[in-house]
Amino acid sequence: MRTFLASFFIFFSTFCFACECGTLAPLTKEKCKDYDVIFFGTVDSIGECNDKWSAVAYFTISDLYKGKVQKQVEINFDCNTECLMSLAANDEWIIYAKYIKFDFLQISICEHSRKKFNDDSQDFYLIDSKRTFVEELNFLKINLGLQTFVEPTIVNSVVTDTARHNTQPSSWGKVILLLVSVFVMVIVYFVTRKKK
């Protein structure tokens, strides 16, 4: 009975905690339309895993195949559930990302994103993709072509100052203002004197 209960517990726990993705359809030109951004790039660094069980990977893109992004881009990924992704600094990846909301790109282990391995025999992505990493890069270049990066937006560094200023006139301006003031005071004096 103990053996049966232990076997049942092990089977049940692996069933509950395994990431189930289902069968991934082979990547075609038509399937690429499901993604907003596709690129080949290198992981610069990884952010901390937050309370929503996601983290940010910072990439430098080498080749952009689809999308409007800058050369450096942030990609969100699962870092703490059973479907977590294992990204590390200096890893090279082909990324297939989707916008979840404005400027929030996300990847999933159940999608086509794949890591480059030094040895093709270690590349478990071959099972679903039926292509080596290099063959997939060539497929993307031929079918999607290389895209240009979006230039970073530089906010004008010159600030227009619209605040009030107490600008002093030049020396000659002061003399002219003094003479005009004296002249006006003389006129006011004579006008008010005649009325009395």
For 14-25, the pLDDT digits (tens) are: 444 578 888 888
Q: Distance (Å, rounded) from C-alpha 5 to C-alpha 159?
A: 73
Residue 116 included in any domain: yes
- The answer to the question of residue 17 being in a domain is no
HSE of 137, CA atoms in CB hemisphere, 13 A: 13
Mean pLDDT, range 107-126, rounded to an integer? 84
Q: State how far the Cα of 189 lies from the Cα of 193, in Å rounded to an integer.
A: 6
Query: Does 88 fall in a domain?
Result: yes
Residue 189 lies in a domain: no
| Beta-bridge partners for 96 | 38
Q: What's the domain range around 33?
A: 25-143
What sections of 32-132 are H helices per DSSP? 126-129
Q: How far is the C-alpha of 73 from the C-alpha of 56, rounded, in Å? A: 10
**What is the chain's mean pLDDT, rounded?**
82
As for how many domains the chain has, the answer is 1
Q: What is the CA radius of gyration of the chain?
A: 34
- Asked, for residue 185, whether it belongs to a domain, the answer is no
The whole-angstrom separation of Cα 44 and Cα 60 is 7
The CATH number of residue 60's host domain is: 2.40.50.120
Task: Supply the pLDDT for residue 196.
Answer: 59
CB 56 within 8 A of CB 87: no
Model confidence at 76: pLDDT above 90: yes
Predicted model pTM: 0.67
160 in a domain, yes or no?
no
